[in-house]
Structure 1
Amino acid sequence: MKQLSRRGFLRTGVAAAGALSVAGCSSVSIAKPAVYRKPGDRLNMAFIGSGGRGGANLKEFYDLGEQVVAVCDVDRGRLDHSANVVKERCPDVRKYQDFRELLAAEKDLDAVVVSTPDHMHAAAAIAAMKLGCHVYVEKPLVRTVWEARRFAKVAQACGVMTQMGNNGNGSDQQRRNIEIVQSGVLGDIREIHVSTDRPIWPQALNRPEGSDPVPESLSWECWLGVAPERPFKKDVYHSFKWRGWFDFGTGAMGDIACHSMSFFWRALQLGEVVSAETVKTTERFTETYPAATTVKITVRSAKQQKPVTIYWYDGKTKPADEVCPEAIATWKSIGVGSTLIVGEKGKFMNGAVCMAGEPKFRGYGQHEATKDIPVTLPRVKNHHWEFAEAIRGGATPYSHFDHAVPLTEAVLLGCISQQIPGELAWDASACRFTNSKAANALLKPHVRDGWEIG
């Protein structure tokens, strides 16, 4: 069976982007080369999206001492709040409601942070990269598989640093988890079970009829962006109620899987998805994700011959107790939000391991099988600091596009399976499903007239 490393995946993926090209998007035109700064230089940064994660990202980079040059948000109330947050050191921050106007006007940017709803990640980030800006983009990196392949192609051509906002990658614990799993102490990995309490927003619903007046402070045109036209409805999409809608978000899986799957994705050198299937689901809806699903994704690993099977559980569901009796003996349950890795020689869960034949888990810092596994990975101050330092000549960020694109693609294939019944066979080289026209129709984004994804 052909094995594909992360690097091999990206070579194939960049080439396959042509198979999913849309008019005008097969080549990369670079308006400005990327610029790297010297150690100690302050970065000129712009922020596209300043609510929720956008506000948190703004505060992180501001507290690191970077210069906040401009902020963009479709909601003027959030714009004013963001400007107030940074006014002590950046009193002249400029404000925009349309990111296209920001990128056209600001000529001296080093980096752009994108924290919009999912459907606008690619449009904003790709436009910024082509202007020579390094980009920090919230998770999931993009909303569709085509956008993921295009993101990789543009980032590679522009020579920029990128970082997806799965910020646990910058923690010591995450890196220790990677060291434990990649050491091989668990043997070949058979399956992995990942669960979440998400969604914590409305989904599993139909589109409401009618329309409401658009608030004076909101640019509904810019909020929709590339997405198909639809009327504004109060408290339906904006704010933070967009994640469950296919046109705007990626549901619970897009929100959380880029966090919870990241450490083992790196540790096991996962890359090419073989298939994706939603094996259990509540009622499906035309425009929103189900309330709860179990998704099965099979992925090839560069570290072992057999593919790894990942089971994803959302809507407060979790694996059956019989999947791991040792967890029941240790914690009385397999808690929602846990990640369980099942290997031929042992199991990993909640920062603990249980080797074959043992009745209970023990912390990996105390267990004789794992306590002496050497520290081999660099530790960093945090995820945001790592990105900023990379622009100043430091090491490549841990969630650079070479890691973030294949991980995001796998998550998005799982999201497609939540919409299309049956096992979906994936051909990564051709960038298409081999057995579903309906699933293939979901690989590309809709791009509304007047907007583009470069």
Structure 2
Amino acid sequence: MPSVPSTPSRLTRRQFAQKALASAAVLSAPAFLRGQNLNSKLNVAIIGSGGRGGASIKGLATENLVLFCDVDEKRNDAAAANHPKARKLVDFRQAFDHAAEFDAVVVSTCEHTHAIATMLALKHKKHVYCEKPLTHNVYEARKIREAAAAAGVVTQMGIQMHATENYRRVVELVQGGAIGPVHEAHVWVSRAWGLQSKEASDANKDRVFVTERPAGMPVPAGLNWDLWLGPAPERPFNEVYVPGPKWYRWWDFGNGTMSDLGSHWNDLPFWALQLKAPLTIEAFGPKAHPEIAPATMRAIYEFGARGSLPPVKLTWHQGQDKPAIWTEKGIPQWDNGVLFIGSKGMLLSDYSKHVLLPEKSFADFVRPAPTIPKAVSHWQEWVSACKGQGKALANFDYSGWLTESNHLGNVAFRVGKKLEWDPVTLRAKNAPAADQFLKRDYRKGWSL
């Protein structure tokens, strides 16, 4: 069973809080710059050219894309087709043999290799944009956040909703006191990708019905399966893992819907309520499967007071699970949503819209003037920050905490016990069994 190193006992909780504030200060300071204005272009390395990498390639069309790396050579060739002078590689570790050729790195690999590629970029003091979730586990999230603070570069986790007008206006309303102090919040998503029932699998071809590791199949031409596995435990190739997002149902490669959509949906309450480390985490759902994440589950987080903000309970509902106020039709029946419950009313939001409830009570409400700057796009916000203009608001100092919390929901689910969390020692004080899910050993040849 892998162990989680303890933080030295001399680090008090007050010192821990001061260290976290210092990290934020480092990230807000100007990083090293290749160009001094927005007219210069960043030289960018793309690690993970297919899938989400394709979206990043489009989002960064204003910059110089100088290196493409993917374990699938066909996808890599297609991505680099419009960049004939770019270097093409299969193993992202080799990209840093050419570190002088680029200023910034985009990490769009599968979740289980995010941290290793990101850490290499940070060690070489490159600006980094990493797709969500930032890491595969809690320990990696902590190490990446700390490394980013030490590197002093510009970072961004790929949670594109963070750059939308809707999310920014919701944050202003909540933080401006529109619904009063918030003591309770709920997030629900209807996606149920995980351990599927036979019936659900038969109804949707994207939902593969498996209950154990499948037998091996021939590896498709052009795919380097050993490099795709990276630090994960070795197993034979099977089409239930790739292509597409199939892999994230498997604990060895992903963490199911919680870490995937949790990055987008829990982002809003994390931002609006200024959350970091929970005090306790408890999860409910079917019996935990040793290989595959659940399709339906619920996780309850309790956060303490944050300055003048009161303690708050945040509940994550996934798949068929919904908040009681939703099932009782006390709010609009949105398929996915975030509900803030305050002393003066409620605020309901999804990705693109929001409403203050009850609507009659807010008929004469005057909205505050916007204070959070408008973003051209999530990618361009990062690019501008790399060039010394503005700040990347989903930086690793923020998204590292969000990632830790999301992973802890899964840890509580897998342990089957309410966790009393200590963010200083990075351990559940009452549940040593949680240690095995906080980090893992890597295959030979891979390290953080």
Q: TM-score, normalised by structure 2?
A: 0.86
Counterpart position of 1:43: 42
State the TM-score, normalized to the length of structure 1. 0.85
Which secondary structure does the structure 2 equivalent of 1:270 belong to?
coil
Residues 3-47 of structure 1 show CA distances to partners (whole Å, capped at 9, x for unaligned) of: 989975735999xxxxxxxxxxxxxxxxxx954421111010011
RMSD in angstroms over aligned alpha carbons? 2.5
Instruction: Give the deviation of 1:132 after TM superposition.
Output: 1.7
User: Is 1:264 the equivalent of 2:247?
Assistant: no
Displacement of 1:445: 2.8
- State the partner residue of 2:170: 177
Counterpart position of 2:296? 292
Paired residue for 1:446? 441
Q: In the alignment, does 2:88 pair up with 1:95?
A: yes
Distance in 2 of aligned mates of 1:368 and 1:261: 29
- Judged with a 3 Å threshold, the aligned counterparts in structure 2 of structure 1 residues 152 and 208 are, in CA distance, closer, same or farther, namely closer
Looking at structure 1, the residues matched to 327 and 124 of structure 2 have their Cα atoms a distance apart, in angstroms, of 50
Structure 1 residues 209-218 or 113-122, which shifts more?
Answer: 209-218
Q: How does 1:157-306 map to 2 (within 5 A)?
A: 157-200=150-193, 202=207, 205-279=210-284, 281-304=285-308, 306=310
**Is residue 368 from structure 1 mapped to residue 371 from structure 2 by the alignment?**
no
Q: Structure 1's 305 and 267: CA in aligned 2 closer, same or farther, altered over 3 A? A: closer
Map 1:75-154 → 2, pairs under 5 A = 75-84=72-81, 87=82, 90-154=83-147
Q: 1:367 to 1:323 in 2, by over 3 A?
A: farther
Q: CA deviation at 1:272?
A: 2.1
Task: Using the TM superposition, give the Cα deviation of residue 402 of structure 1 relative to its aligned residue in structure 2, in angstroms.
Answer: 1.7
Closer, same or farther: CA 416–390 of 1 in aligned 2, 3 Å: same
Q: Deviations over 1:87-137 (max 9, x none)?
A: 1xx321221111011221342211100011111110001101111210000
**Would the alpha carbon gap of residues 208 and 287 (structure 1) be closer, same or farther in structure 2, given more than 3 Å must change?**
closer
Q: Which amino acid aligns with 1:373?
A: P
Is the contact made by 1:137 and 1:163 (CA closer than 8 Å) also made in structure 2?
Answer: yes
Hey, what does 1:56 align to over in structure 2? 55
Contact 2:44/2:106, CA 8 A, preserved across alignment: yes
**AA at the equivalent of 1:10:** A
Map of 2:418 onto structure 1: 423
Stretches of structure 2 lacking an aligned partner (at least 5 in a row) = 1-11, 25-30, 194-205
Change (3 A) 1:406 1:324: farther
Question: 2:344 aligns to what?
Answer: 345
Q: CA deviation at 1:321?
A: 3.8
* CA contact 2:42–2:104 (8 Å) conserved in 1: yes
Question: How far, CA to CA, are the matches of 1:405 and 1:189 in structure 2?
Answer: 23
What corresponds to 2:405 in structure 1? Answer: 410
SS of 1:122's equivalent in the other structure is: helix
User: What is the aligned residue count?
Assistant: 414
Q: One-letter code of the match for 2:315? A: Y
Contact 2:33/2:387 (CA < 8 Å) preserved in 1?
Answer: no
8 Å Cα contact 1:13-1:431 kept in structure 2: no
Distance 1:209 1:422, change over 3 A: same
Q: What CA distance in whole angstroms lies between the structure 1 residues aligned with 2:223 and 2:389? A: 39
Query: How far apart, in 2, do the equivalents of 1:266 and 1:122 lie?
Result: 23
Deviations along 1:144-188, whole A, 9 cap, x unmatched? 111111111211111111000001111122111110010122222
CA distance in 1, matches of 2:120, 2:53: 18
Corresponding position: 1:383 with 2:378: yes
Q: Tell whether the 8 Å contact from 1:4 to 1:302 is kept in structure 2 after alignment.
A: no
Distance 1:78 1:322, change over 3 A: closer
Say if 2:257 and 2:295, in contact at 8 Å, map to a contact too: no
Partner Cα distance (2:341, 2:328) in 1: 9
Distance 1:13-1:106 versus aligned 2 partners, 3 A rule: closer
Provide, for residues 400-452 of structure 1, a one-character-per-residue CA deviation record: whole Å limited to 9, x for no partner.
11211111111111121221102111011221101112212211132111111
Q: 8 Å contact 1:36–1:393 — kept in the other structure? A: no
Q: Which amino acid aligns with 1:51?
A: G
Look up the equivalent residue of 2:55 and give its one-letter code.
A
Q: Distance in 1 between matches of 2:413 and 2:23?
A: 23
The letter of the residue matching 1:267 is: A
Counterpart CA distance in 1 for 2:429 and 2:324 is 32
Write the distance in 2 (CA, Å) between the matches of 1:159 and 1:395.
15
In structure 2, C-alpha distance between the alignment counterparts of 1:49 and 1:242, rounded to whole Å = 15
Alpha carbons of structure 1 residues 394 and 248: separation in structure 2 relative to 1, 3 Å:
same
